[in-house]
A and B are shown apart, each in its own frame.
Chain A
Amino acid sequence: MKKVSLTIDGKEISASEHATLLQAARDAGIQIPTLCHDDRLAPYGSCRLCSVEITSGKKAKIVASCVYPVENGLVVETMSPRIVKIRRVILELLQASSPKGRVEELSKVYGTSTDKFEKELTFCILCGLCVRYCSEVKKAHALGFIGRGIEKQVVFFPEIALKSCPGCEGECFSLCPTGILPNKFAQSVPSFGKVQPTVFPVRLWDEDNFLNLTRNIT
């Protein structure tokens, strides 16, 4: 396999030509924070927390390291002032919708303020780990996205979930970086088989829908 050489944070690095910047950096022991990345899944590039600054020739730009392929001679900065600002703002934005779990941990690391933006709690950051894991690894497609823009949400498709979820016992929940409702939900998974089919998709984070579903379970 061909190798390419590049510089990350001043360190000369040799990486496989098919690697992403994130892989190359992690292999070299350089940590870049992520929320939507999982080595078992295809890179998705949604949280943008792994943004890094690259310089190729004279031009500098911001790219998501989890999807950007390595290039010969690339100069990468993973902690430049611009990058730190981007990560801080992303974390502050996420704190307005989903302040717990990984977001909380990283916010402490980056010392972000918790109330910069008006709160609108959804408890879901739409990283898609659960959806992609269910599709790509389990091949079950019991979860999906519906809606668009600020209305976008993760849902269970009950018809599929009824068949495939009982055998899996919530592997998707263990991936969830926000860790609120999914954990609560996960406790009831063993009895998932008793859920009555509904025609509506079930929103993962909606308290009413959640209660509806658990009521059916017990």
Chain B
Amino acid sequence: MAKKIRSPEELLQFRKKVVAFKEAVKTRIIVSGGTCCLAKGSKRIFELFREELDRQNIAAGVELKSSGCHSFCENEVIVLILPEEICYMRVRAEDVKEIVSRTIIKKEIMERLLYKDPLTGEQFIKEGEIPFYKHQSQIVFGNNRFIDPKNIEDYIASGGYEALVKALQTMTPEEVITEVKKANIRGRGGGGFPAGSKWETTRNAPNNPKYVVVNCDEGDPGAYMDRALMEGNPHSVLEGLIISGYAIGAQEGFIYIRQEYPLATENTLHAINQAREYGFLGENILGSTFNFDVEVHRGAGAFVTGESSALMSAIEGRVGQPRPKYIRTAVSGIWGKPSNLNNVETLANVPLVINKGADWYSSIGTENSKGTKIFSLVGNVNNTGLVEVPMGTTIREIVYDIGGGIPGGRQFKAVQIGGPSGGCIPSQFLDMPIDYDEFTKVGAMMGSGGMIVMDEDTCMVDVARYFLDFLSDESCGKCVPCREGIRQLHKILMKIVRGDGEEGDIALLEDLSEVISAASLCALGQTAANPVLTAIKYFREEFLAHINEKRCPTKVCQGLVSYFIQPDRCQGCTACLKNCPSGAIDGGKGLIHVIIQEKCVKCGICFEVCPDRYRAVEKLSGGPVPPVPADREITRRRVER
């Protein structure tokens, strides 16, 4: 049992002791251990390192630890070796022995494990030199890679809980709120509401007790920055929560974690227990008169419980569906009491603001959006992972400088920001700065930070259909405009991608969208039409091609695509014939193969299996399929493409 820290001085002493102990260690091996790293076998790699260090008898001089996510997700498992800052990527179990004997013992660099730029072929030894990291400024996320989430000493050594000391010792709750207001942190979960004002409203609300809540019900498709923070550096969020409790006058906090995040739950529970042991939670925290404790509430699998009133209903033990919020949850939230809800990332910013001051914080970013924002950069981009950039960075910098551009040299088409409530931002806005208000102007929204890059082969009608598909499942079903409206939006989009679109469908989509946005009960419905509206706004010609010409310009929508075998390219190799699951191909050795359109299920297997040197199968859209050639015998060797 750890000794309880009862005063700021004791914390200082303890930190000194931990830091001195850590400085005595010569070499440090850090194995990334986020959810995706675990999927790539990082737990086994960690164990193998332990075994190998023991076997080589050098375990005493080496600190081995498992950290959270290192943010360059597509290159997991990442192993970081300090103090040399050697960064090995895509490490597999079979590499461990060699790393220990060559790099740890002989101090050699293993080139094959270094990051190699996919475009230039350049190799980098240090993590900070890699373009993906070089163009970021990870002020919130940076510590993730150095901290073992299960070890509070790591967090304390990095200056953790210093902000809490500062707040409790030198600031009144009002001063904390003033500082947060001055820093102008806006909610990172979607809405972008100023956190300081929310804290003030909750503090000034007449009722007691008050509650503070962390929203870790992240659910936008492709977004996972909250998960990475919660599982990689739970104490930073916890410290922010405790400070918010102090500022607001709450003694109880909740951390609402989505059901599908088992590791985040495990690490958070562990962090809470450690914080209790060390005296950062409980009564008379650090010798002050402030009492505060936290409970974890696990979500039950509904996207909509990320909405504040639904989340609070769920904490109360009722069905997680939104209720009217004409009286704000800051005034009447959990059990009718004033409740402050902040996103994971928002709270992780709070210790920074308190430590370094609002002036420092607000010097980063644009006029109305301060600090940094973490995005999960996914989709058709070379470097996928979590990126943290100052507000004001352009989309182009994120996609090209950090993301390394679009794979295969294809063209950028759009970036989907803000998940199902957001919208698609087309290429003419590539130089738009990351900013809450700029995003809203073009019809998208910051959302929680999902950023899905889409290349020229993406059908925007299909993307809109995908998001409506998601929403029809995730709407709680309570109010008519959202439930029935989304059902009908989805039906109309399905009709269009099937090839049954009619004139007037676009107007109907727009009309219906207007009513859904205006009349729905909660933000899910009010923003549900955004993916459709931005798609129509920026890609109207694609909708028109689908409806008027029955043509999908990107040849994505199955209902509008036909497969056809070019007679002069077919070599009669029978690959398509053998693989067709519906028996829709007529052919044989020495014969030009033909697809029987009536039998074709448009699975695309023939397209995939036709050898690259022939590329005889083509996708057609919008026109008739050419007739079957009269003479199907292949008599001469055809020219290879």
Contact = CB atoms under 8 A, between A and B. Distances in A.
Interface of A: 43, 45-49, 51, 62-64, 67-69, 82, 85-86, 89-90, 93-94, 96-97, 116-118, 120, 125-126, 128, 145, 147-152
A147 B327 contact: no
Given A93-B484, A149-B486, 8 more contacts: A47-B480, A69-B326, A69-B327, A85-B515, A90-B519, A93-B488, A148-B473, A148-B476
Contact of A150 (B327, B477, B478, B495): B477
Contact-residue bracket for chain B = 35 or more
A83 to B, nearest CB: 9
Interface of B: 302, 304, 319, 323-324, 326-327, 471-481, 483-488, 491, 495, 508, 511-512, 514-515, 518-521
Contacts of A149: 471-477, 483, 486
A152 B518 contact: no
A118 B491 contact: yes
Nearest to A147: B477
A148 B302 contact: yes
A151 B484 CA distance: 11
Contacts of B323: 45
A86 B472 contact: no
29 contacts: A45-B479, A46-B478, A48-B480, A48-B481, A48-B520, A48-B521, A63-B326, A64-B324, A64-B521, A68-B326, A69-B326, A86-B518, A89-B512, A89-B515, A90-B480, A90-B481, A90-B519, A93-B480, A93-B481, A93-B484, A93-B485, A94-B480, A94-B484, A118-B491, A120-B491, A126-B483, A149-B476, A149-B486, A152-B477
A125 B480 contact: yes
Nearest to A63: B326
9 residue pairs, one from A and one from B, having the closest CB atoms: A152-B477, A93-B484, A67-B324, A89-B515, A149-B475, A48-B519, A62-B518, A150-B487, A117-B488
A90 B515 contact: yes
A62 B519 contact: yes
Nearest to A20: B326
A171 B538 CA distance: 52
Nearest to A35: B480
Contacts of A69: 326-327
A102 B485 CA distance: 19
B503 to A, nearest CB: 15
A189 B352 CA distance: 65
A205 to B, nearest CB: 14
Contacts of B471: 149
Contacts of B475: 148-150
A189 B481 CA distance: 33
A94 B471 CA distance: 19
B512 to A, nearest CB: 6
Nearest to A62: B518
A45 B484 contact: no
A148 B477 contact: yes
A126 B319 CA distance: 15
A151 B323 CA distance: 19
Given A89-B512, A89-B515, A145-B319, A46 B480 contact: yes
A68 B324 contact: yes
Nearest to B470: A149
Contacts of B304: 148
A45 B324 contact: yes
B484 A97 contact: yes
B482 to A, nearest CB: 9
A42 B474 CA distance: 25
A150 B486 contact: yes
Contacts of B484: 90, 93-94, 96-97
B326 A67 contact: yes
B79 to A, nearest CB: 42
Contact of B483 (A62, A64, A116, A152): A152
A62 B324 CA distance: 13
Contacts of B480: 46-49, 90, 93-94, 125-126
A51 B486 contact: no
Contacts of A151: 473, 477
Contacts of B319: 145
Contacts of B488: 93, 96, 117-118
Contacts of A147: 477
Contacts of A46: 478-480, 521
A148 B520 contact: no
A97 B488 CA distance: 11
Given A45-B324, A68-B324, A148-B302, A86 B519 contact: yes
A203 to B, nearest CB: 14
Question: Which residue, B327, B481, B483, B519, has most C-beta atoms of chain A within 10 A?
Answer: B519
A51 B483 CA distance: 16
Contacts of A118: 488, 491, 495
Contacts of B473: 148-151
Interface centre among B471, B484, B485, B508 (most CB of A within 10 A): B484
Contacts of A45: 323-324, 479, 521
Contacts of B520: 48
Contacts of B491: 117-118, 120
Contacts of B514: 85
A51 B519 contact: yes
Contact of B515 (A86, A94, A125): A86
A68 B323 CA distance: 12
Contacts of A43: 324
A28 B520 CA distance: 26
Nearest to B302: A148
A86 B484 CA distance: 13
Nearest to B525: A48
B33 to A, nearest CB: 34
Contact of B478 (A51, A97, A126): A126
A147 to B, nearest CB: 7
A98 B21 CA distance: 71
A165 B302 CA distance: 31
Nearest to A51: B519
Contacts of A64: 324, 519, 521
Nearest to A43: B324
B422 to A, nearest CB: 19
Question: Which of B472, B473, B518 counts the most chain A CB atoms within 10 A?
Answer: B518
